[in-house]
Amino acid sequence: MAVFLLSLASLACCAPGNGNANQKTNSRLQARGDSIEAIGQKVKTSSGYIVGSRAPNATQVSQYLGIPFAYPPVGRRRFAPPEAYKGRDTINATAYGHNCPSQSAAVPDGLEPPSLANLLTFLGQVGDDQQEDCLYLNPQSGSKKKPVLVWIYGGGFNTGGTNNTAYSGQHWADEEDVVFVNFNYRLNIFGFPGAPELEQNVGLLDQRLAIEWVRDNIAAFGGDPKQITIFGESAGAASVDYYNYAYTKDPIIAGSIGESGTATSFGNKLPSTAAKN
All structural domains of the chain: 2-276 (3.40.50.1820)
**Percentage of the chain surpassing pLDDT 90?**
35
Q: For strand 146-152 and strand 179-182, is the pairing parallel, antiparallel, or unpaired?
A: parallel
Quick check: 61 and 54 in contact, CB under 8 A? yes
Is a pLDDT exceeding 50 seen at residue 114? Answer: yes
Give SS3 for 175: helix
User: pLDDT confidence of 19, banded at 50, 70, 90?
Assistant: very low
> Minimal CA–CA distance to 95: which of 38, 56, 46?
56
In this predicted model, what pLDDT tens digit does every residue of 132-145 receive, in sequence order? 877 666 655 545 67
Q: Which of 87-101, 181-195, 244-258 is predicted with the least confidence, judged by mean pLDDT?
A: 87-101
In single-letter form, the type of residue at position 36 comes to I
Which pTM does this prediction carry?
0.79
Q: For strand 58-68 and strand 53-55, is the pairing parallel, antiparallel, or unpaired?
A: antiparallel
| Cα distances (Å, whole numbers) of residue 65 to 21, 103, 169, 252, 269 | 12, 25, 12, 24, 35
Q: For strand 2-10 and strand 135-141, is the pairing parallel, antiparallel, or unpaired?
A: antiparallel
CA distance 39 to 31: 7
CA distance 19 to 27: 15
